[in-house]
Amino acid sequence: MGSRGTIAHGETRRARLAGPLLAAAVLVIGLAVTLRTVGALHDDQRAAAARVMDQRTAVARAAVTAETGRYRDLMQAVAAGLGTNTRLTAGDFAAATAPLETAGLVGATSVAFVVATPSGEIEETERFWRSRGADGLTLQPRGDPDLHLFSIFQRTLNNSAAVASGIDVASAPEGAAALLEARRTGRPTVSDAYVLLRDRNVPLIHRQLSFIFVAPVFTAPAGDGDLPSFQGWVAMGLRGQDFLGGVLGTASQGLLDGELYATDGQGQRLKVAAYDAPGRRDLERQATFPVADHQWTLLTGADSHRLPGARNGTPTTVLLGGILLTLMLAVLVWVLATGRSRAREQVLVATAELRSAEAESRRQAGLLGAIMASLGDGVGVVDENGAFLLHNPAAKALLGVAVDADRPDDWQAHYGIFRPDGRTPFPLEEMPLVRALQGEVSDGVEMLIRNEQRPDGILISVDGRPLDPSAGQHGAVAVFHDITELRRYENDLAVFAGVVAHDLKAPLAVIRGHCETAGDELADAPPGPEVTEVRAALDRIMNAVDRMAALIDTLLAYTTSRDAPLTPRDVPLGPLVAEVVAQRTEHVRPGAGPPPDVYVGPLPEVRADPAMLRHVLDNLVGNALKYVPPGRAARIDVTAGPAEPGWARIEVADRGIGIPADDKPAIFESFHRARTAAGYAGTGLGLAICRRIVERHGGTIGVADNPGGGTRFHFTLPLAAPEAGDPGADRDDRVALDRALSERAEAEAAALPAVGEALRPPAIRPPCVAEAPARAAAPPSSSGAPVLRPAVAAATPRRTPGAGPAGTA
């Protein structure tokens, strides 16, 4: 087990490690692949950018070369055109240069016809060219060079500002050098960069370096052998910045930066113009190309991110996508790889929990079994169909049957279940387990079990309950115990009480008889102080005897209230209360105090044992009459109050001394007397007897303060069955109840003939329960309350009920 555990533990650890390791591997590989891919994409992009840059630079270079070539060719064409005319006029010049206006010569300022004039011939030259149409020509020699180079005719291009003709180009050495070079070589040329004479007045910030394109004008030789005769030059000014901006902007679509450098006569590179495209320059190219007899250099630069097709968001997308995919894969691998071990762990935990739960439930079951085995009470549990799930050993021992009957129908015969009378088979529907299966609770149901193993029979008391829902199934449980001995003991006690009461009361009757005889004897004796004293002594003896007799009656009533059989009948309450009141008040001595005021309201007919009911009423009315402050009249109301359907509620209210709140809860306990009862005769048993009687009838009894002072007792009893009408379920119940009660009475009478006899009320004397109030009526002689005739005179015939004060109230 130990080595298996270690191996399992090792496996679990390996499994636990494998998951994270695999996930880490996937993470590393995934990231490496992603980075490699992104790197390759970047390389591709760089290569693409370089390619695009090369293409764009080539295009830009070609554009610049083509444009300069075109300018040069145009100059040559114009020069050739002018050269065809030996008599060149302003009109000829205008006609020859007119096409230039629409040739789209970016950066061109003007085109001019320039002639060379020695210093001495300026005026003559001026006149000559005026005559050729140069109106208002004024030659403006600058400095004092040998040869002045005057512009004669002029056409401004691209809406440049018009400048008067006649300026002396010789004042700009770069321009003069270009002119002379062109004349010398007979070919078009371009000057070094310089600021055109026409721009020298513009603010420094707007000034640009420019060139002039020059072509010499020769007229054709007049005859063979003649040399072409030089006429002058066509010169076109070109602003470097405008030119570069125009050409490069169009050629590169605004994507390339550019710087144009021209190499001057001294071989020095001079930056002529710069064009700025938006963006950060990270690619550069350089191209050198010939323009006329000069070398120009074009430096281009670009922001690779702006070159079309060179840079895009693919690498970033690939990077993010790759990282995301890698993470997801790693998580997936981790989940898959550790899933098994996690599931295994969960299974282990669940198994451990299950094991401990199983052990716990085994322990509980063992405990329950032990409790059941050691219980003295019998316990039986059935399922919802009445099949026995459990019968503890005590149950089997009590019932004397080892094998259970599983169908409720068989129970009666199988176990030998009878009513307490020992004869009537116990009805199935009244069995506590059967009632519990229908959701009813029953307590203290008495049954007699008599079968082969229990030939003498035992009396058991059974409690039935529906099975608690926590048991997880429907069913019922019954708990029962043997009450045979208890009953026997109770009966013995009752017999004993009866015998004691009878034997105690007999000598008392003898004493009283002798006292009465002695009293009669004294009636004839001559009056004197001794006679008076003896008579007083006799009275005291008789009072004591009466009190003792009353006490014995109360104790007897206390016993019978519990054990005497009930014989319920329909009893009209009104006449009974009137009778009790009348009996209670008939012996009030005249002048012993104000007469009691008793009101008896309309009262219903109830179903009760008349003798016991009378005892209850007598006790309550007796207490109400007794517990009044000395010298005050008792005021009593006996009324019926609202109650549950089928029940009567009777209230006995008084305006007496009341019961202190802390005494109320115990007032119905045996022998409890309130502290306010001091000075009033009593035993503290009367209310205990009342409670027993009321509860044996299924009712309740209670007490409350009477608003306005005094006490208000109430108790409930079943209403009498309605006279007419349909004999419904209530009546059936009542019949069943009556039958059960009388059966029980019979059984007890049969079992205990002596007590039965002692407790059965004799026909000719008031029932002993009805005698009990007499003891309460024995008042302290000092209280001045009405003195009632002691009921201990057992032979006193029962008074005919008549209308008492209640009837008139």
Across 280-293, b (16+ Cβ under 10 Å) vs e yields: eeebebebeeebbe
Shortest Cβ 669–ligand ADP spacing (Å): 9
User: Is 406 or 705 the residue whose CB approaches ligand ADP more closely?
Assistant: 705
User: Is 553 or 654 the residue whose CB approaches ligand ADP more closely?
Assistant: 654
Q: Which residues touch 232 (CB under 8 Å, ≥6 apart)?
A: 113, 114, 115, 116, 152, 216, 217
- Determine the Cα–Cα distance for residues 217 and 777; give it in Å rounded to an integer: 171
For residue 221, CA distances in Å to 225, 228, 366, 378, 486 come to: 8, 4, 144, 157, 170
User: Is 139 or 688 the residue whose CB approaches ligand ADP more closely?
Assistant: 688
List residues near ligand ADP by CB under 6 A: 619, 623-624, 627, 654, 656-659, 667, 673-674, 676-677, 682-688, 711, 776
Shortest Cβ 660–ligand ADP spacing (Å): 9
Shortest Cβ 713–ligand ADP spacing (Å): 7
Shortest Cβ 680–ligand ADP spacing (Å): 7
Shortest Cβ 663–ligand ADP spacing (Å): 7
Shortest Cβ 701–ligand ADP spacing (Å): 11
User: Is 191 or 623 the residue whose CB approaches ligand ADP more closely?
Assistant: 623
- The first and second tokens of residue 269, run together, are 């590179």
Helices (H) and strands (E) in the chain, counts: 19, 22
Q: Which residues touch 46 (CB under 8 Å, ≥6 apart)?
A: 304
- Beta strands in 508-596, from DSSP E residues, in sequence order: 569-572
User: Is 96 or 792 the residue whose CB approaches ligand ADP more closely?
Assistant: 792
User: Is 608 or 624 the residue whose CB approaches ligand ADP more closely?
Assistant: 624
Shortest Cβ 684–ligand ADP spacing (Å): 5
User: Is 682 or 804 the residue whose CB approaches ligand ADP more closely?
Assistant: 682
User: Is 213 or 713 the residue whose CB approaches ligand ADP more closely?
Assistant: 713
User: Is 603 or 685 the residue whose CB approaches ligand ADP more closely?
Assistant: 685
User: Is 672 or 765 the residue whose CB approaches ligand ADP more closely?
Assistant: 672
User: Is 615 or 696 the residue whose CB approaches ligand ADP more closely?
Assistant: 615
Closest Cα to residue 624, out of 659, 654, 604? 654
Edge-to-edge strand order for the sheet containing 711-718? Answer: 597-600, 635-641, 647-654, 711-718, 701-705
Shortest Cβ 769–ligand ADP spacing (Å): 14
User: Is 125 or 561 the residue whose CB approaches ligand ADP more closely?
Assistant: 561
Shortest Cβ 624–ligand ADP spacing (Å): 5
- The first and second tokens of residue 196, run together, are 């055109």
C-beta separation of 447 from 462 below 8 A: yes
H helix or E strand, kind and range, residue 281: none
User: Is 421 or 651 the residue whose CB approaches ligand ADP more closely?
Assistant: 651
- Determine the Cα–Cα distance for residues 34 and 90; give it in Å rounded to an integer: 75
Shortest Cβ 622–ligand ADP spacing (Å): 8
Shortest Cβ 615–ligand ADP spacing (Å): 11
- Determine the Cα–Cα distance for residues 144 and 127; give it in Å rounded to an integer: 20
Shortest Cβ 776–ligand ADP spacing (Å): 6
48 exposure class (CB count in 10 Å sphere: 0-12, 13-18, 19+): middle
- In a 13 Å sphere around the CA of 545, the CA atoms on its Cβ side amount to 20
- Determine the Cα–Cα distance for residues 65 and 288; give it in Å rounded to an integer: 10
Shortest Cβ 544–ligand ADP spacing (Å): 17
Q: In this structure, what DSSP letter does residue 223 have?
A: S
- SS3 of residue 258 by DSSP: strand
For residue 313, CA distances in Å to 33, 53, 283 come to: 18, 19, 19
- Determine the Cα–Cα distance for residues 388 and 382; give it in Å rounded to an integer: 4
Closest Cα to residue 550, out of 767, 778, 760? 778
Closest Cα to residue 600, out of 772, 807, 760? 807
- In a 13 Å sphere around the CA of 579, the CA atoms on its Cβ side amount to 18
- Determine the Cα–Cα distance for residues 482 and 486; give it in Å rounded to an integer: 8
